[in-house]
Structure formats: structure tokens, C-alpha cells
Structure 1
Amino acid sequence: DADKDEGSSDGNDIQKARKTAAENLVKQAKKMKTSSDKSHPPANVGDNVTIPIPDVDKGKGDLRNIIGVILQTNGEGFYKIGTEHGILQKLYCRHCFFKSELDVCTQKFLEVADVKQDTEISLRTAATRHSVGSG
């Protein structure tokens, strides 16, 4: 009977430890989100961003980035980006801007009106069209 009590005590300890761990994970997630929001301010419609071109999509002499402008945002933190050659098919998230996927520019190189609104293109196509070499 003593073994039974000891077993249920261990079970309770495990349940308490799991509950505490789950609560601490939630606290840590909130802390990380707050820190991230402070260091990564939201981008706005009309902001210029640089979009790195993957190495496989560019030649040695080609640009490392293309410049785009934020055309719209949705409520979930995703951005539609346009370039002078068309609108990029992929949506980009706010935090992607700071993970070497996109960077917000301090200067304006491109206006929303400069975007070819009737064409949707891939990043690879945009990179090829911005290419000074063979793409």
C-alpha cells in the first residue's frame, strides 16, 4: 500500500512539473514577443524594402538585393511587395524583414505608383529582370 501512495505522489509531482513548465513556456513566449515587437517595428504601406536574391538566382556580377515597396498589409502581419517589374507572388512577414529576408530602407527609392500593378512575378523573375548580366 505504501508503494501505491509513493506512485501517486510521483505522478502528482510529474503533473505539477509539467504544468509549471507549460506556464513558464507561455511566460517566455510573451517576453520574447514583447522584445521582438520593440526591436522590429512594423513596416508601413509605402516603405521601401530590400529583398535578398538567393545565390542560385543570380550571377556573380548581379546585385545581391532588389528593391521593393510595401503595397499592402493584412491583419496577420503579412506584406505584399511590389517592384518596378511587378508584384511579388509571395507574401512576406514583418519578422522576415529582419532575418535577412527583407530589410526596411530608410530612403525612398520606389513609390507605390512605380509598381507595375497588372503583373505578378516570382522573386526569381524579378531578379532576372533586375539583372545587369545574363541573370
Structure 2
Amino acid sequence: MEECSNVGAGEGIQLNDIKLADLNVGDNVLIPVADVDRGPTDARNVLVIVMEIKDDKYKLGVEQSIINGYYSFHQISKTTGTPTILIENVDQGIKKSLREVVKLQSITGPR
């Protein structure tokens, strides 16, 4: 029985390594926004760019700022197609929370 559990754990680690290898600095990804952090007309996700990868965590940014903190692989999903946010367009001198970024990008304006 112990042999089976060890094999399963090893496979899980290998699959996780494959998923982590898919994201690179410069990739555009989506962060889901909690219902309490957005208005009824706001987007359910925020499009961001991977700015840095450190200890399997991702520092993310939008054109207006860097988003505070690091995010894990399970909190983001990679987008397909041509990147629409480029690293050189991100204002790296400003840091904001995800909630503040959602307010900036709201179609109804800041609340």
C-alpha cells in the first residue's frame, strides 16, 4: 500500500513541474476577481503580465502598476494568443492591490 502512495506523490510533483514550466516572464495571464472586490458590471478576471518568477510564485503587473504580493500557479490561468500587455508598458514605480486595479479598470469608473 505504501508503494502506491509514493508513486502517486511522485507523479503529482512531475505534473506540477510541467505546469509551472508553461509560464514565463512576459506571458499574459488572468486573475479571477472575487465578487466582493468588483461591481456588477466589472470584469470577472483581470488581464495581467508575469513580471517575475520567484520560488514558484509570480509577481504580476498591469499597465498602471505592479500588483502587490506574489501569486501561485493555481491562482492564475495563462491566456492564448498574442500578448496585449508588454513589460515595457508597465509602470513599475507604482504598486497597487488587486482591488485597486479592478477599480481603475472598471467601466463605471472608480467607486
Query: TM-score category by the smaller chain?
Result: 0.7 to 0.9
Normalising by structure 2, what TM-score? 0.85
* Residue 126 of structure 1, aligned match among 98, 101, 104: 101
Aligned to 1:77: 56
Q: 1:42 Cα deviation (Å)?
A: 2.7
Q: 1:109 Cα deviation (Å)?
A: 1.1
Larger Rg: 1
Matches for 1:53-72 after TM superposition, within 5 Å:
53-72=33-52
Whole-Å separation in 2 of the counterparts to 1:114 and 1:50: 17
Q: Secondary structure at the match of 1:90?
A: coil
**Structure 2 unaligned spans of 5+:** none
Whole-Å separation in 1 of the counterparts to 2:58 and 2:77: 13
Whole-Å separation in 2 of the counterparts to 1:63 and 1:36: 29
Identity of aligned residues (%): 28
Normalising by structure 1, what TM-score? 0.71
Instruction: Report the RMSD for the aligned CA atoms in angstroms.
Output: 1.8
Q: 1:39 Cα deviation (Å)?
A: 5.3
Matches for 1:36-115 after TM superposition, within 5 Å:
36-38=16-18, 41-74=21-54, 76-94=55-73, 96=74, 101-106=75-80, 107-115=82-90
Aligned length: 109
Q: Which has the higher helix share?
A: 1
Q: 1:35 Cα deviation (Å)?
A: 3.0
